């Protein structure tokens, strides 16, 4: 019964999705033609530059897609459209709560837009899409390890000033092998003091020590990926004792060679250690997946059960950067569709809000 169509009907939460890795190829081709960009102008020709195809798993190859993608942020209108479509695509996969992270630096770099401006364009677009598709979208601003600390400070300050507009947290991402997280410690202390919540990319390519540092020194309330945490029992114990949720992204972990084989993915090991886990997409258009695909992969390759998927979904709600009242409302809505056991499962009733599937 746990097939793709059944899994797609279920309401979902995605806590780890990058705007920059979620752009429609069709829109990219239109943009390339409109602005005469120096990239292929047919979908199949462009695909290898912006999507993982047949290349061997490799972090550098995966990250190179972003170098091409940054050339498509050509105007306020284009950034608005791209951000709106990301939310629309999530809604079509029945994602009912989305935390969308993005780097204002990446969106502004080629055209020299002001960081404050591109942030506002994304806020406006996602708020419009949130209304159109009857879903809640929270934004997370991503600081980049391999960019300057001064630029990261500007982004953090923008986030702190715009919490009332749906910016719900800060993230730290980028090259964790060659760039330490230590210089950013003060920014995260300041963000916490301002009431912002924080998630940190750690233990994706570096070892378990990166996860420990993110939790103990940066105050991470969630960890992006964290697959290398299995290398140190102290870190596993730390995650369990503090109940730090992991944002697991199965497909991207394989494509970046963070995990050698799907059968060796540590998802179930984390579950056995009673560490909270959630399933997410990371960069769905780069990986050519949906969140339903990630659920299906967990079922097929890791033998995750319906009841375990349900638990991960409700863990994602509890781990969301939301107020207790909003979490409670989401749990009530999700309980309509997510029955306690597969035996009790029936198709979600029509009263569950699906959004109106408006196109832009």
265-280: pLDDT as tens digits: 999 999 999 999 999 9
**Tokens at residue 125, please?**
């677009």
**Does a structural domain hold residue 160?**
yes
User: Which pTM was predicted?
Assistant: 0.94
**Does a structural domain hold residue 305?**
yes
Q: Average pLDDT, whole number, for the chain?
A: 94
Confidence band (pLDDT; 50, 70, 90) for 177? confident
Q: In what order do the strands lie in the sheet with 277-279?
A: 12-18, 95-102, 136-144, 167-173, 197-202, 222-225, 246-248, 277-279
**Does a structural domain hold residue 358?**
no
**Does a structural domain hold residue 97?**
yes
**Does a structural domain hold residue 345?**
no
Domain count, the chain: 1
**Does a structural domain hold residue 360?**
no
20 among known catalytic residues: no
**Does a structural domain hold residue 84?**
yes
Candidate list 99, 176, 204, 296, residue with the active-site label: 204
Domain span holding position 24: 4-337
What CATH number should be reported for the domain holding residue 226? Answer: 3.20.20.140
**Tokens at residue 359, please?**
């196109």
**Does a structural domain hold residue 353?**
no
Confidence band (pLDDT; 50, 70, 90) for 359? very low
């Amino acid at each position: 019964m746990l097939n793709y169509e059944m899994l797609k009907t279920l309401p979902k939460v995605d806590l780890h999705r990058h705007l920059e890795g979620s752009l429609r190829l069709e829109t990219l081709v239109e943009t390339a033609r409109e602005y005469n960009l120096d990239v292929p102008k047919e979908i199949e020709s462009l695909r290898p530059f912006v999507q993982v195809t047949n290349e061997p798993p490799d972090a550098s190859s995966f990250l190179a897609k972003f170098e091409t993608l940054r050339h498509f942020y050509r105007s306020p209108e284009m950034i608005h459209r791209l951000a709106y479509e990301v939310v629309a695509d999530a809604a079509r996969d029945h994602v009912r709560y989305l935390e969308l992270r993005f780097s204002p630096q990446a969106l502004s770099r080629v055209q020299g837009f002001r960081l404050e401006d591109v942030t506002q364009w994304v806020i406006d677009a996602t708020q419009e899409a949130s209304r159109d598709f009857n879903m809640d979208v929270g934004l997370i601003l991503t600081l980049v390890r391999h960019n300057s600390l001064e630029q990261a400070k500007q982004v953090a300050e923008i986030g702190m000033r715009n919490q009332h507009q749906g910016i719900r947290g800060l993230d730290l991402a980028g090259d964790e092998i060659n760039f330490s997280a230590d210089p950013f410690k003060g920014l995260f202390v300041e963000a916490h003091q301002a009431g912002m919540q924080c998630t940190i990319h750690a233990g994706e390519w570096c070892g378990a020590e990166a996860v420990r540092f993110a939790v103990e020194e940066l105050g991470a309330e969630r960890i992006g990926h964290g697959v290398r945490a299995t290398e140190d029992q102290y870190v596993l114990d730390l995650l369990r004792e503090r109940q730090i949720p992991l944002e697991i992204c199965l497909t991207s972990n394989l494509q970046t060679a963070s995990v050698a084989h799907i059968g060796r993915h540590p998802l179930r090991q984390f579950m056995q250690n009673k560490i909270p886990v959630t399933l997410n997409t990371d960069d769905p258009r780069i990986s050519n997946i949906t969140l339903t695909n990630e659920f299906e992969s967990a079922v097929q390759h890791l033998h995750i059960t319906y009841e375990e998927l349900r638990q991960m979904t409700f863990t994602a709600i509890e781990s969301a950067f939301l107020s207790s009242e909003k979490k409670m409302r989401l749990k009530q809505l999700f309980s309509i569709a997510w029955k306690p056991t597969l035996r009790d499962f029936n198709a979600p009733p029509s009263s569950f809000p699906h959004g109106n599937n408006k196109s832009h």
